[in-house]
Amino acid sequence: MEPVSEFLHMGGYALFVWPAFAVAAVVLTVLLVWSIRDLRRERDLLESLPRRRSKAQPAEAEDDS
Partner 1 sequence: MVNWHRLANPTSFLKWSRRVLPWASVTTVILLAAGLYLSLFVAPPDYQQGETVRIMFVHVPSAWMALFTYAVMAGASATGLIWKSPLSHLTAKAAAPIGASFTLLALVTGALWGQPMWGTWWVWDARLTSVLILFFLYLGYIALWEAIDDYTRAAKSTAILALVGVVNIPIIKFSVDWWNTLHQPASVLRMDGPSIHPSLLVPLLVMGGAFTGYFIVVLLIRLEREILARQAQVLRRAQLRS
| Positions in the binding site for partner 1 (CB under 8 A) | 7, 10-13, 16-17, 19-21, 23-24, 27-28, 31-32, 35-36, 38-39, 42-43, 45-46, 49-52, 54-56, 59, 62-65
Rounded to 10 degrees, what is the CA torsion of 33, 60, 62, 32?
A: -10
Length in residues, the chain: 65
- Nearer CB in complex with partner 1: 2/63: 63
Dist. CA 58–CA 47, nearest whole Å: 17
From the centroid of its chain, how far is CA 34? 5
- Nearer CB in complex with partner 1: 5/54: 54
We find the least distance from the C-beta atom of residue 17 to partner 1, in angstroms, to be 5
